[in-house]
A and B are shown apart, each in its own frame.
Chain A
Amino acid sequence: MSKLLYRITVTAMLFGLVGLFAIACQQPEDEVFRIGVMESLTGPGETYGTVINQSKEMAVAEINAAGGIDGKQLELIVEDSKCGAQDAITAYNKLTDVDGVKIILGTSCSGAMLGAAPLAEEDGVVLFSASATSPDIEDAGDYIFRTAINDAQLGVDAGNAMWADGVRTLATINESTDYAEGVQKTSTEQFVKLGGTVVAEEKYSSDVTDFRTQLTKLFAENPDAVLLAAQSEFTGGTIVKQARELGFNGTFYSEVVPTGTTALEIAGDSATGLKAIIPSPDLETQKGKEFLDNFRTRYGYVTLPWFIGSAYDTVHIAAQCLEQTGDDQDADGFRDCLYNITWSGTIGDGYTFDAKGEVVGLSNAVVEVLPLTERTEENNGYKVLGPAPIQ
């Protein structure tokens, strides 16, 4: 019996392989521009990787509905890079080798980006991310671009904002991930440089759900404010909620994650008054508002508006550059196009890329979370207080 089943399994595997042949041997049509996409569709970065991918699919659908690029359709080949170097490398090699793409939009996570970047740099393939924020990517290479704002900038802005609000003693709590830790590190460095004191630091790993002990330790030092840097909305929201339950009355400062839809839902009214330093002007442009409306119509929800807007912009920038070069195999032309482009999209007007492939012309703003009753779908639950102060 088991022998028979084994044979069936083996036969199924054989058929699978024959199927692979058939698919792989299909000749790609010349009438389309093909570019790759690598996002974390599974794994720890799934929540943002998936919506970012949806945003890109939407942008492509719009471009193609409007007649494509010079009459040619744009086609995305999506691969899952999870959130780590190994899967980024296999996904990268599959895209460049099997599909023969020279331009890849992605990845979601900095870890995946840093894994694929050396290969892309060597092969001359453009990697263009909408959401990888690690400071390490700055020096990753000539072909590496991103619309995401470097964490280092976010940290400086957060430090300045806290100092300008009169915060002098600070306690920090952050998730042990590259993003959250980077924000915590750069923010406190700036804060200390301005003369502030960090009285307590706590770190937690991503699977923790009870933060009361760590929070109690922070509050024992009587800080003016608490800086919260989270990677997942769940932990961000939970920390705010549990801190208020413990009777903390000071101000929370955070990066963008605790202002996400899920985080605000978890925190409820506890989040009121939380100040966050987030990329600005948070889709305040006309294009940004239209984009959010369209996204909501298409998918029924909106989350992390800046990042999905950023992803949407990367596709449109890619379309513009493909129109200029007229060849999806011309990575060098595409790279030069990115260096020279000035783009007005959903996340800001007139932004450019500098010699390191970092975005220039986008800045962070300070927002304050509104009381529960005033939160609506349109205002995302917070009001913009203004651009981040400069010291």
Chain B
Amino acid sequence: MLTRPPSWQRLSELARNPLQAFALSRNNVELWANLLIITFAVVFMLWKGATFAVTLGTVFAIWAMLSVSLNLVVGFTGLLSIGHIGFFGVGAYTVAILTSTTAYENLRTGAIPTFGWPFFAALPVAAIAAGLVALLVGIAFNRFRDDIYVLVSFGFAIISFNVFLNLRGITRGAFGIHDVARPQIGSWVFDTELELMLMAMALMVIVVGISWFIVSSSFGRVLTAIREDEQVAEVFGYHASHYKLAVWVISAMMAGVAGGMFSSWTTFIDPNSFILLESVLLVSIVILGGLATIWGSLLGALAFVLLEEGMRFLPFLPQEYVGQARQVVLGILLVLLMVFRPQGLVGRYKL
């Protein structure tokens, strides 16, 4: 099972002798099944409905960034947080406010300050804003652990939603913000679905790369130690609270980047995109994929997007019920997966 990515050395070894790679993985049913599913999915998408497939690619990249970053906190460090959507929202709103150029005075629904920044200038600010918010709440959250941590992060999700909803002078409250700028390099505007997907994928690769670096570094090993036993880590001279705060802020910054990409992709955001339910979905993606594995989070996000959007094609149902049926089937599938594979698709740990 590919529970962790192979090293470069191993990869080059295998490249010199492809037959050996085949022999190694011949009995690995899961690997082949996963590859087959992904191939099927990609071929299916490209055959019928390329734009739809590309859209799903963007959705996948955004969810993947969120789940990989959340896995750093939940899986590797053992802090179960369901407030991650708040950082996603901070990133989304930062990019939206900084880049939107609509003259809201003409819309009779309340004006907000507009700046008209380009996307690439706003995106780092979004990451920093999410990081700063995370630093502030993280200092307070560090006093808590285990079950209490879940509750305070729950509180954070509720608070952030209400801030987005009620800070009318900045977020425009329930009316939402339009005309969020698309990424632009010179005169090249990323305004097709394909360009946006590539952009989202590029950001995802960066996020995954950083996460990979973190978990394979000594910093990552300390995080694992904290997850396994915080006291022991302290005894060995690591300030657990510093490490926890650091990974919390890094993870929030990644969520901020995902949020920035999200608002640029939809070009319209309102507080409804950042409700607690999305956070819970996100935690289920992380658990679905497997705790403490980056591959798992990617696979979890892919499985989630394919399941949820694949349900649009559910046959044999009157059209009236397709919408509801999607939710029901998705829920049942998630429950079944949790029952039969509590460690997730490729994970090693249970929650």
CA gap between A98 and B272 in the complex, in Å: 27
Contact A178 B175 (CB under 8 A): yes
Is the pair B41, A41 in contact by a Cβ cutoff of 8 Å? no
A6 touching B273 by the CB < 8 A rule? no
Select the stretch in B149-157, B225-233, B318-326 that faces chain A. Answer: B318-326
- Distance (Å) between the CB of B169 and the closest chain A CB? 13
With beta carbons under 8 angstroms apart, the residue of B106, B108, B109, B266 that contacts A115 is B266
Chain A, residues 214-242, CB within 8 Å of chain B (1/0): the string is 00000000000000000000000000000
Pick from B49, B310, B322: contact of A97, CB below 8 A.
Answer: B49
Complex Cα–Cα for A375 and B47 (A): 57
Taking a contact as CB atoms under 8 Å apart, the answer to whether B110 and A76 are in contact is no
Q: Which residues does chain B contribute within 8 Å of A246, judged by CB atoms?
A: none
Interface residue from B37, B51, B176 paired with A96 (Cβ < 8 Å): B51
Q: Which of B48, B162, B327 contacts A205 (CB 8 A)?
A: B162
Residue in chain A with minimal CB distance to B36: A14
Q: CA separation between A176 and B167, bound complex, in Å?
A: 11
Partner-contacting stretch, out of A85-93, A249-257, A265-273:
A85-93
Q: Could you tell me the distance in whole angstroms from the C-beta of A13 to the nearest C-beta in chain B?
A: 6
Q: How far is the CA of A16 from the CA of B41 in the complex (A)?
A: 10
Q: Mark A11-50, 1 if CB is under 8 A from B, else 0.
A: 1011011111101110000000000000101101000001
Check if A93 sits within 8 Å of B55, measured CB to CB. yes
Set A57, A76, A114: member contacting B178, Cβ < 8 A? A114
Q: Which residues of chain A come closer than 8 Å to B41, judged between CB atoms?
A: 17
Contact of B109 among A19, A23, A24, A135 (CB under 8 A): A135
A94 with B320: in contact, given A14-B37, A135-B107 (CB under 8 Å)? no
A-B contact count (CB 8 A): 171
Using C-beta atoms within 8 Å of the partner chain, give the interface range for chain B.
Answer: 35 or more
* Choice from A25, A76, A84 contacting B319 with Cβ under 8 Å: A76
B38-63 vs A: 1/0 string, CB under 8 Å? 00110010011111100110010000
Interface residues of B: mostly helix, strand, loop or mixed? helix
Interface string of B332-344 (1 = CB under 8 A from A): 0000110011000
B99: min CB distance to chain A, Å: 14
- A340 CB within 8 Å of chain B: no
Q: What CA separation (Å) do A133 and B324 show in the bound complex?
A: 24
- Chain A nearest CB, measured from B254 CB (Å): 19
Complex: how many Å from CA A138 to CA B108? 11
- What is the distance, in angstroms, from B295's C-beta to the closest C-beta of chain A? 15
B320 touches A54 (CB 8 A): yes
| A10, A76, A181: the one within 8 Å of B173 (CB) | A181
Interface string of A161-192 (1 = CB under 8 A from B): 00000000000000011101110011001000
Contact check, A93 vs B193: say whether CB atoms are below 8 A apart. yes
**CB of A9 within 8 A of chain B?**
yes
Cα A114 to Cα B177 with chains together (Å): 10
How far is A6 from B341 in the complex, measured between Cα atoms in Å? 7
Which residues in chain B, 301-320, are within 8 Å of chain A measured between CB atoms? Answer: 303, 309-310, 312-313, 315, 319-320
The 5 nearest A-B residue pairs measured at CB: A41-B323, A80-B323, A98-B49, A97-B51, A24-B48
Residue pairs across A and B with Cβ atoms less than 8 A apart, 29 shown, are A10-B29, A19-B315, A20-B310, A41-B324, A78-B319, A80-B312, A80-B326, A83-B272, A84-B273, A85-B266, A93-B193, A97-B52, A114-B178, A118-B267, A122-B191, A134-B175, A136-B109, A136-B175, A138-B107, A139-B107, A176-B165, A176-B173, A177-B174, A178-B109, A178-B176, A180-B174, A181-B173, A185-B109, A185-B110
